[in-house]
């Protein structure tokens, strides 16, 4: 503890004897990082003086302190002969402050008596662990050099994006770890099937994938996965009837393929905090959440709850470099002047405009012909931060829970991972 107090004293001493270092220190530490009340008061006073553009003269600063703090300020200046080591002092104070905050939250967690209270404290712990910015400042020279290094690497070795397994999505959405992507669709259009297919393809590519299902249970998910992988009718799998010997072999092969994939399924998570905890424990690279409107969030209204869910998922994805793909319901369809159903846009995302703001890309899907459940799926890539916005059609073979880019009248029902 004595070392930390010495570091705090030397840090405020550095600020007072060399104002040139104040900007870097204020950017690195906050008043909450100081353990001693006196150094905290001195730091806050110097910070306020600096941010308001006023004179950074120790005499003027001293006039704004209590008599006790004045004496301590003079002692700090006397004990700090040079400000050359201010960066090391700032790092020590920052780490000490973080540790103290963790300890306080740990004590709060030990004193909780309800699950909801514990989850709130755990959420604060997760936020605190991701709160320290790394590499957030860059000079123009560093930016230019970094870009050229990355460009040379890409030209020599190509760029590796996370594959969706469907040509239009791979072509138009350059997907990286840390992206937050929304898949919005109206009920019974196959959004869960699309998410499962993409999740399995990402797992096949070697990414550790988590699929959080709030809508369907494990039996329903398992049946849909095996239908997709084997090409055997979902109805046959559900009823367990009329399965031929050849189909049974494909089912067995599908189970063997699933067994080898680095993918896990969670049916218990109901909050962002629970998803974060599961993702960390399972070391997931990619998370699918089916779907946002079924999650619990903070806020007095559903609008506020969905807004908080969106913000928390986006921040979690970006901070932890975990690709997060969340499914969302769309508002009821509206009709155009000629009586046809209007195609969905980002404005149709239910219960919060925050989804539109937070997402790196938004994929919207509906029936191409609203009166034909067997029609192709119209897909509108309505927001795409790293590519173009466009629309296209996918064919959905509902009986085997499989999407393809091009419709075939003689589609061969075989294993998906051949």
Which residues are paired to 377 by β-bridges?
367, 394
* Residue 401 CA to its chain's centroid (Å): 27
Environment class of residue 392 by beta-carbon count within 10 Å: exposed (0-12), middle (13-18) or buried (19+)?
middle
Distance CA 203, CA 192 (A): 16
- Do 212 and 279 touch, CB atoms closer than 8 A? no
CA angle 192–198–203, rounded 5-degree value: 125
- Do 349 and 330 touch, CB atoms closer than 8 A? yes
* 212-253 pLDDT, tens digit each: 998 888 899 999 999 999 988 888 888 888 888 888 899 999
Question: What is the three-class DSSP state of 397?
Answer: strand
The strands making up 263-266's β-sheet, listed across from edge to edge, are 263-266, 209-213, 286-290, 323-329, 180-185, 361-367, 377-384, 390-397, 402-404
Helix (H) or strand (E) run with residue 274 in it: helix 272-282
Going by pLDDT thresholds of 50, 70 and 90, the confidence category of residue 344 is: confident
* 36-70 pLDDT, tens digit each: 888 888 888 888 888 877 888 888 888 888 888 88
* Residue 406 CA to its chain's centroid (Å): 32
Distance CA 276, CA 295 (A): 13
Q: Phi first, then psi: give them for residue 182, nearest 5 degrees.
A: -110, 135
In the predicted model, what is the mean pLDDT of the chain?
Answer: 83
- C-alpha count within 13 angstroms, C-beta hemisphere, residue 293: 14
The full length of the chain comes to: 418
Going by pLDDT thresholds of 50, 70 and 90, the confidence category of residue 418 is: low
Q: Phi first, then psi: give them for residue 239, nearest 5 degrees.
A: -85, -25
pLDDT top residue among 397 and 116: 397
Pick left, alpha or beta for residue 299 (phi over 0 → left; psi -120 to 50 → alpha; otherwise beta). left
- Do 342 and 330 touch, CB atoms closer than 8 A? no
**Total-model pTM:** 0.69
* 360-416 pLDDT, tens digit each: 999 998 888 877 888 888 888 888 988 888 888 898 888 889 898 875 555 556 666
Pick left, alpha or beta for residue 150 (phi over 0 → left; psi -120 to 50 → alpha; otherwise beta). alpha
């Amino acid at each position: 503890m004595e070392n930390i107090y010495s570091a705090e004293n030397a840090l405020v001493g550095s600020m007072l004897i060399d104002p040139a270092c104040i900007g870097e220190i204020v950017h690195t530490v906050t008043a909450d990082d100081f353990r001693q009340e006196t150094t905290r008061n001195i730091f806050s006073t110097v910070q306020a003086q600096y941010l308001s553009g006023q004179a950074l003269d120790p005499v003027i600063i001293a006039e704004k302190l209590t008599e006790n703090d004045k004496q301590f300020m003079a002692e700090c200046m006397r004990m700090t002969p040079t400000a050359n080591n201010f960066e090391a002092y700032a790092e020590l104070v920052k780490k000490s402050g973080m540790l103290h905050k963790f300890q306080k939250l740990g004590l709060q967690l030990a004193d909780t008596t309800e699950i909801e209270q514990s989850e709130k404290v755990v959420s604060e712990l997760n936020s605190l662990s991701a709160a320290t910015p790394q590499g957030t400042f860059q000079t123009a020279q560093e930016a230019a050099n970094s870009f050229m290094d990355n460009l040379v690497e890409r030209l020599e070795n190509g760029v590796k994006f996370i594959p969706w397994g469907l040509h239009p999505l791979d072509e138009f959405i350059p997907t990286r770890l840390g992206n937050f992507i929304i898949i919005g669709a109206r009920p019974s259009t196959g959004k869960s099937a699309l998410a499962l297919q993409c999740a399995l393809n990402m797992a096949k590519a070697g990414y550790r994938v988590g699929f959080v299902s709030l809508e369907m249970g494990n039996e329903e998910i398992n049946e849909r996965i095996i239908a997709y992988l084997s090409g055997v009718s979902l109805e046959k799998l559900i009823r367990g009837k009329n399965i031929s010997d050849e189909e049974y072999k494909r089912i067995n092969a599908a189970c063997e393929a699933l067994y080898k994939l680095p993918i896990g399924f969670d049916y218990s998570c109901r909050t962002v905090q629970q998803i974060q905890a599961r993702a960390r424990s399972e070391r997931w690279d990619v998370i699918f959440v089916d779907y946002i409107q079924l999650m619990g969030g903070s806020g007095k209204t559903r609008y506020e709850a969905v807004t908080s869910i969106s913000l928390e998922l986006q921040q979690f994805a970006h901070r932890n470099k975990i690709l997060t793909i969340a499914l969302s319901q769309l508002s009821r369809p509206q009709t155009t002047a000629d009586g046809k159903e209007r195609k969905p846009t980002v404005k149709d995302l239910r219960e919060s405009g925050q989804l539109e703001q937070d997402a790196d890309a938004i994929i919207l899907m509906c029936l191409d012909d609203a009166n034909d459940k067997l029609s192709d799926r119209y897909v509108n890539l309505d927001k795409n931060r790293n590519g173009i916005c466009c629309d296209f059609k996918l064919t959905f073979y509902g009986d085997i829970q499989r999407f393809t880019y091009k419709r075939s009248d003689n589609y061969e029902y075989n294993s998906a991972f051949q």
